[in-house]
Structure 1
Amino acid sequence: MTDTLDQMLTRAFEEARGLYKERGFQRRVGFGRKPALVNVDLANAWTRPGNPFTCENIDNQIIPGVQQLLAACRRNNHPVVHVTTCYQVADREDPHTDMGLWHCKIPVEAVPENRPELWAIDSRIEPIDGEQLLVKKRASAFHGTYLAGFLRAAGVDTILVTGVTASACVRETICDGLAEGFRTIAVEECIGDRIPGAVAWNLFDIDAKFGDVEKVERCVSYLDEVGSKVAAA
């Protein structure tokens, strides 16, 4: 099924690219002068097996790609923000829950604050001293958080976004990132989901409307290029 779906999407994208190009979509926002890496929900409840939120292609693709990006950020002193999600009141019957109404759609009660082993960032890409750990309550890493203010204070103009899921938290973060005035870059190999076709479709649509989809190799080169310019200044 997955192979057939991929083939169908490839044909659909080929046709859509022509339509979008004709109508002026798929422009490039480009890389800026100061980047930050924003890893969205790469916590154990999403990266390890056996959870409601478990995603595909974590071990063989997403984690190795993020490790490359982290190494480039760390050797060049670029800001890194690790984003996760958890809730102080995970009782669906409590009218004062910080889950809002999201629990009416998906099982967000599966990541209560008193189970840190679930919402902790995956140990293979865990934060080091000086990196931000940001807890969000909604899909976007910007919604109701200090992320935009932190990035602006650091002089950041470009965000490289990784994580899960392409169809929800990553997409919402990218859309809000552009709305907040940041050049948004989706790192292709470092974005995942649970449903066949979700990554391909969302990355195609993001690239047409909200940010540039770039390969991890290109992003690592960019991080090093910017870092070398700063070091030489």
Structure 2
Amino acid sequence: MPLPPSIDYAGPDLSALPVSRAGWTLRAERAAVLVHDLQRYFTRPYAPDCAALHQAVRRTAEILGAARAAGVPVFYTAQRGDQDQTARGLQRDLWGPGMRAVPEHTDILDAVAPEAGERVLVKHRYSAFARSELAEELAAAGRDQLVITGVYAHIGVTATALEAFQREVHPFVVADAVADFGPEEHALALRQIASCCGVVATADSVVAALTPAAPAAAGAGAGLDAVLRDELAVHLDADLVATAFADPETDLFSLGLDSLRAFEVLDVLAESGVDVDFGEFTRRPTISFLRERALVVGV
């Protein structure tokens, strides 16, 4: 069975993305980027002016630029043409013989092509982890977060996100840097990922997370830390405060902060110019989240 013909739809509505169950924060020192299946064979079903694909490619290129500037590892997946049909397995039953070993099928799109030294993994099944060295290479690079872009969102992208989660790797699927068969499949993929295995992100948020903070912002963050450390010391033992700052992703409620004390902490921050919604804080009760709020308001 062939891929669907003439895919043509607008990209996702970024103002109405599903809320992710996971509250993970993307960090450049923990992240790697995966460009999933952006080969000519998989993109040829799209109409020449398909907004969803053009957006996905453009936003992927922007993420690649930020990743390379920050020294974040970049990986690609790409199938080989003329696959042995026995080795192709059940995919043959659903999608036919697959691509031929010709550049117009196998080449990765020029706009997001790999640079020297970037790893192109041979794709065997839906998941990028299946029969590849992706897990081992992530571990060797000390990376446990994976930013995923490419096609198709409800098939290989979702399968890769699900397997990343099961391998203790945080998947961040970029809503406007993936494309699919149509808007229904695109939305289905984002809902599935947000509900059970990963963070649905935007390209802007990923680029911001991979871009080093300006020195002035770093200094402001240090000022917030002093205020926060002093206030937390009122409510928690000194060793627990040290634990919270040693790992800024630590859940402060797990250290003994309760709702009443949390309100008092947020009141002190508000006096310093950092307004934090209590509901948002309860979903991510961490030092990292409070630092992010301070950067947003420029404190």
Q: TM-score range by the shorter chain?
A: 0.7 to 0.9
The alpha-carbon deviation at position 87 of structure 1 amounts to 4.6
Residue 147 of structure 1: aligned partner: 134
CA change 1:219–1:45 in 2 (3 A) is same
Letter in 2 for 1:104: D
1:200 is paired with a residue of what secondary structure?
A: helix
C-alpha contact 2:22 2:197 (8 A) present in aligned 1: no
C-alpha contact 1:81 1:131 (8 A) present in aligned 2: yes
1:26 has 2:14 as partner: no
Residue 76 of structure 1: aligned partner: 70
Q: Which has the higher contact order (CA 8 A, sep 6+)?
A: 1
C-alpha contact 2:31 2:73 (8 A) present in aligned 1: yes
CA change 1:42–1:227 in 2 (3 A) is farther
Residue 94 of structure 2: aligned partner: 105
Question: CA-atom RMSD, angstroms?
Answer: 2.8
Judging by fraction of residues, say which structure has more strand: 1
CA change 1:136–1:182 in 2 (3 A) is same
1:48 has 2:36 as partner: no
Q: Distance in 1 between matches of 2:56 and 2:77?
A: 15
C-alpha contact 1:30 1:183 (8 A) present in aligned 2: no
Total equivalences in the alignment: 201
Residue 277 of structure 2: aligned partner: none
The alpha-carbon deviation at position 26 of structure 1 amounts to 1.7
The alpha-carbon deviation at position 88 of structure 1 amounts to 4.5
1:187 is paired with a residue of what secondary structure?
A: strand
Letter in 1 for 2:147: L
TM (norm. structure 2) is: 0.61
TM (norm. structure 1) is: 0.77
Residue 57 of structure 1: aligned partner: 52
2:114 is paired with a residue of what secondary structure?
A: coil
The alpha-carbon deviation at position 143 of structure 1 amounts to 0.7
C-alpha contact 2:60 2:112 (8 A) present in aligned 1: yes
Judging by fraction of residues, say which structure has more helix: 2
C-alpha contact 2:70 2:211 (8 A) present in aligned 1: yes
The alpha-carbon deviation at position 196 of structure 1 amounts to 3.4
CA change 1:213–1:118 in 2 (3 A) is same
More moved, 31-40 vs 72-81: 31-40
Letter in 2 for 1:98: A
1:108-149 CA distance string (max 9 Å, x none): x2313x224312211111000011111111000001110000
1:50-79 CA distance string (max 9 Å, x none): 79xxx87212x1111001001001111110
CA change 1:226–1:160 in 2 (3 A) is farther
Residue 185 of structure 2: aligned partner: 198
1:78 is paired with a residue of what secondary structure?
A: coil
CA change 1:165–1:50 in 2 (3 A) is closer
Larger Rg: 2
1:35 has 2:24 as partner: no
